[in-house]
Chains A and B, each alone.
Chain A
């Protein structure tokens, strides 16, 4: 193989591999990125059953219940406009309390329950999940007010 050709072939191979990797990455990202929902969006256009998504909102006052096995909890996440029932098996994260924000990673079941694999709550006083930062600015007060009164009315 001539000198110039070898260089060219190397460059072409490298380019093909890198473009292949990028296309694969973009394809996989479209399918595998887990999208963030608030309860309102989940009510209006729910994700496919079993698809990995994140749900963020406020834990309604009075909705937290520990089931008989002692390790599964159920609670309701709301954003003032809609609510979603959530179930989670595991140790509740530090500082997980009713009336505060939470982001749940998991999937929607056919019966409309959100099965959480993981809960991201604030783990110190300053930390707010990234998805909830805007919310706290735009709607937090209103959300908290509505979810708390909503909780009491139930």
Chain B
């Protein structure tokens, strides 16, 4: 009964989305018969999609084994938190989550957005409905989560052990919130194009969604990178894997969009460019979904290997991106030129960085798609760090340098002479840091430059605060400062990891010890241990840093038996200045065991940096929303006063 109810709610939501689309389009064309229905329809659609998803969660919590999806992905004996996460830890459920979040976002816009001209808002909601309908159709026709089994299963199949990890349970939805946020930004762009209303008000309405999407993408990428680092046991934190790139590309586009939308909101410049970025950012999130969901890539992530679904998403991708680009081509010339600015101005710096971000995006996109393209001609290649690192760095380095300077410039027109002092300061710090790194022992060009630039940016990011009363600095400015500082912190971690990491691969006897960097690691014992669905060989290591108090580590080589799978469970010893990373391997003969150890100085800064970037985004979002609310209050009070005066 519950499953049928969920399916019915989904069909109803689909029907409402169609009504929302038709009503919105009619309103744009000047026939307002259905216009007053659009907002309530969007709210009802959100409520129904939400209900449908709640019912799916309910089915998972009670483990209703007559439902195919539950039987295939859950187990009655699982802890409740994994039953909950099981609802979206599979293809059908995650698609339902996607469309639910999107419908809820539409409902929220319909409820609170009052700044935009009504027509633009209705066009935006029509855009939302248009994107939503594609996903509803996809779910209903090829990925129905509520499908029943002819006879209920006796017990569920359980969840892939690699995925039974609390961090991973929340990693995909985080990225999805990011993707959906960009689809909302896209709808705003479509609404603005359709009604020719590319204004600062439009930018202010769109900005919170872009910021929100960007925060979630940042968190999702940070968490995914840390998961790959400790779970895969390879010691790396970024592999340029196509699935990782699929989350990086929307982030790059969203970063560019975030900055250009701010220019549009503050200065009414970059109108066309902002719309274009809105289209690109959404295209990248659709492409990401396609790459991950279609099974074009064989990877641990791609669990939906089903050509029918792949072609369905590809068709959706073509319709959305093709349609948006066509609309853009038709309407772009009718958007009038925005405010002008000089090259040396904050806008100038932001434009430069937008172009650099787009170039990096292009590099990553080509590198990700190239193996797929060549495979069509039966040439198999793989593209990895030797391509991405240098090609990306060529554009990243100038971007980072301009990022250090840009926030110091004034809007519209400025001169470098005015900010000579901070410019010289930043340059001196960077050069001194570079000299220091080279003296300490030149490592690699990129790592050296990275360390020097990171130190320079770390200091430069706080310069916009100089001479200001810190208590009166707006939250949004704090957000920018902290996010830029976070970039410096993350960059420092990346460069340090690549420059100073030490690796030791050794075969040691029980009781023997080995040295990696400042750590002395002794193998105490290797014992078999067993878990609920695995057996493992567990090493006991005593690791002491620089002769200090030893810490005990227990890396494991695990053997799962249902489904049969082996994993290496690495163990980490974290200090403020880095991590010791230990993996145990096979028996190496003569009673020896293989140990693989890394000392990675400051590697944790990579993820601390990611968190700081997200925190900066959050502060900025809160600051913007609060000042919007305040403005709205002021307007309402003035209206009341005027009404009283008239009376």
Contact = CB atoms under 8 A, between A and B. Distances in A.
Interface of A: 1, 3-4, 6-7, 10, 13-14, 17-18, 20-22, 24-26, 28-29, 32-36, 52, 54, 66, 69-71, 89-92, 94-95, 105, 123-125, 127-131, 133
Nearest to B593: A70
Interface in B408-442: none
Given A20-B359, A21-B359, A69 B507 contact: yes
Interface in B63-103: none
Nearest to B371: A33
Given A70-B506, A91-B594, A127-B300, 19 more contacts: A7-B337, A14-B355, A17-B358, A22-B366, A24-B394, A26-B366, A33-B371, A33-B387, A34-B382, A34-B384, A34-B386, A36-B380, A36-B381, A71-B588, A91-B568, A91-B585, A94-B565, A95-B566, A129-B298
Given A14-B358, A34-B381, A129-B298, A25 B589 contact: no
B443 interface: no
Given A17-B359, A90-B505, A124-B564, A131 B585 contact: no
A95 B559 CA distance: 10
Interface in B354-413: 355-356, 358-360, 362-363, 366-367, 370-371, 374, 379-384, 386-387, 390-391, 394-395
Given A6-B340, A90-B596, A32 B386 contact: yes
A52 B563 contact: no
A49 B586 CA distance: 31
B583 interface: yes
B228 interface: no
Interface of B is mostly: mixed
A10 B391 CA distance: 23
A109 to B, nearest CB: 18
A29 B340 contact: no
B589 A123 contact: no
Contacts of A4: 337
Contact of A18 (B362, B384, B566): B362
B381 A33 contact: yes
B567 interface: yes
B362 A22 contact: yes
B592 interface: yes
A115 to B, nearest CB: 14
B351 interface: yes
Nearest to B383: A33
A36 B367 CA distance: 16
A94 B366 CA distance: 32
A123 B391 contact: no
Contacts of A130: 297-298, 380
A4 B337 CA distance: 8
Given A33-B381, A71-B506, A125 B594 contact: no
10 contacts: A4-B337, A6-B340, A10-B351, A18-B355, A21-B360, A24-B363, A28-B387, A35-B379, A52-B386, A127-B300
A32 B589 contact: no
A15 B565 CA distance: 49
Contacts of A22: 362, 366
Nearest to A14: B355
A127 to B, nearest CB: 7
List of 4 A-B pairs having minimum Cβ-Cβ separation, nearest first = A70-B507, A94-B566, A70-B588, A91-B585
A17 B355 contact: yes
B370 A70 contact: no
A20 B356 CA distance: 11
A127 B303 CA distance: 11
A67 B297 CA distance: 36
A90 B383 CA distance: 22
B238 to A, nearest CB: 15
A10, A35, A125, most chain B CB atoms within 10 A = A10
Contacts of B370: 29, 33
B358 to A, nearest CB: 6
A79 B366 CA distance: 31
Contacts of A7: 337
Contacts of B374: 33
B507 A71 contact: yes
A91 B583 contact: yes
A28, A35, A94, most chain B CB atoms within 10 A = A28
A131 B380 contact: yes
B298 to A, nearest CB: 5
A97 to B, nearest CB: 11
A31 B568 CA distance: 34
A130 B367 CA distance: 17
Contacts of B362: 18, 21-22, 25
A101 to B, nearest CB: 13
Contacts of B356: 17
Interface in B5-59: none
B196 to A, nearest CB: 17
Contacts of A71: 505-507, 585, 588, 594
B333 to A, nearest CB: 11
Nearest to B387: A32
A130 to B, nearest CB: 5
Interface in B559-579: 563-568
A25 B355 contact: no
Nearest to B365: A25
B566 A54 contact: no
B380 A35 contact: yes
Contacts of B590: 70
A40 B395 CA distance: 40
A71 to B, nearest CB: 5
A39 to B, nearest CB: 15
A92 B586 contact: yes
A154 to B, nearest CB: 22
Contacts of A13: 355
Contact of B298 (A1, A17, A128): A128
A20, A32, A70, most chain B CB atoms within 10 A = A70
A36 to B, nearest CB: 4
B586 A3 contact: no
A29 B382 CA distance: 10
Nearest to A72: B505
B594 to A, nearest CB: 5
Contacts of A6: 340
Nearest to A125: B564
